[in-house]
Structure 1
Amino acid sequence: MKRVTLALCAAVLAGAASTSAYAADIQRGSGIEVCPVDELCLYENWDFNKDTHDARVLSTYKDIAHLDDYNFNDITSTVYNDTGRIVRLYPHYDYEGAPVTLVPGESIDFKDANGNFNDQISSVRFMN
C-alpha cells in the first residue's frame, strides 16, 4: 500500500510540474482573432501586427517575470487583454518599475496610446 501511495504522489507531482511549466505560447499572425480566448496577447508590431502577418504573438494566462525567457523582452508594441482579469505590464524584470494596467477586454497600441512603453515590456503580472 505504501508503494502505491508513493507512486501516486510521484505521478501527481510530475503532472503538476508539467502543467506549471507552461507560461506562454508564441505563434505568428496578425489581428485580434489570433489571440486565444481568455489569454493576454503581446504583439511584436503596432496595430496587432497589421502590416506583418508573419510577426510573433506571445499569448499567456500566467505571470511571466522574465519575458526574455520567451525571447520577447522589449519587443511588444501592441497588447490585448482577452481575460477577465486585470493585467499589469512592467518595464523591468520581476515586476519592477511603474506598470501599465489593462482592464479586461482592453487593448493598447503603444504607437498611439503610450509611445514611451513601446518595446519596453519585460514582465507581466495578472492581478486577480
Structure 2
Amino acid sequence: MAVYLTDTSGVRKVTAGFVGLFHNWDFKGPLLETNEDISNLETHTVVLDDNKTTRTAQFNNDTSGVYNNTTDKTLLLYPEFDFKGTPLTLLPGESANFINRDGVQNDMYNDRFSSLKLVPYKSGGGKG
C-alpha cells in the first residue's frame, strides 16, 4: 500500500496499479497516486526519495482530473469525508478530466471530492 505525491508541470502518466488525482485540468499539476483508500483528501505530506525533502498538496475539493490505472479495482470518489455521499465511479482504465469541451470547468465534478475508495472490480458488474 502506498500514497505518492509528485509535483508535475506537464502531463504525467500514473503508475500502473495506482489511481492518480491531478490538481489541475488536463492531467497536470501536483499528482496524488495511491493504491489504498483515503478517507480524507485534505493536505497530504510525503517524504521524497532522498528521505529529507517533504512536499505537500491539498486535494480535498481540489481535484480536477483523475485516472484509474488499475486492472482490478473500481475507483469510487466521494463528495464527503469518510466515504459519504453518492460516489463518482471509474472502472479500471477510465479517466475523467473535469473540464468540458469548451475548455470551461465542469462544476458538477471539478473540485468536489473529499475521499476515495478502491473496491475489487467485477467484470460486467463494476464493483465487487
**TM-score, normalization by structure 1:** 0.73
Of Structure 1 and Structure 2, the greater strand share is in 2
Of Structure 1 and Structure 2, the greater helix share is in 1
Letter in 1 for 2:35: Y
Q: How does 1:108-127 map to 2 (within 5 A)?
A: 108-112=96-100, 115-127=107-119
Q: How does 1:1-128 map to 2 (within 5 A)?
A: 23-29=2-8, 30-33=10-13, 35-49=14-28, 55-70=29-44, 71-84=58-71, 85-112=73-100, 115-128=107-120
Identity %: 37
* Aligned equivalents of 2:92, 2:32: Cα separation in 1: 17
Structure 1, unaligned runs of 5 or more: 1-21, 50-54
Structure with greater Cα Rg: 1
Structure 2, unaligned runs of 5 or more: 45-57, 121-128
RMSD over aligned Cα atoms:
1.6
**TM-score, normalization by structure 2:** 0.73
Superposed displacement of residue 23, structure 1: 4.2
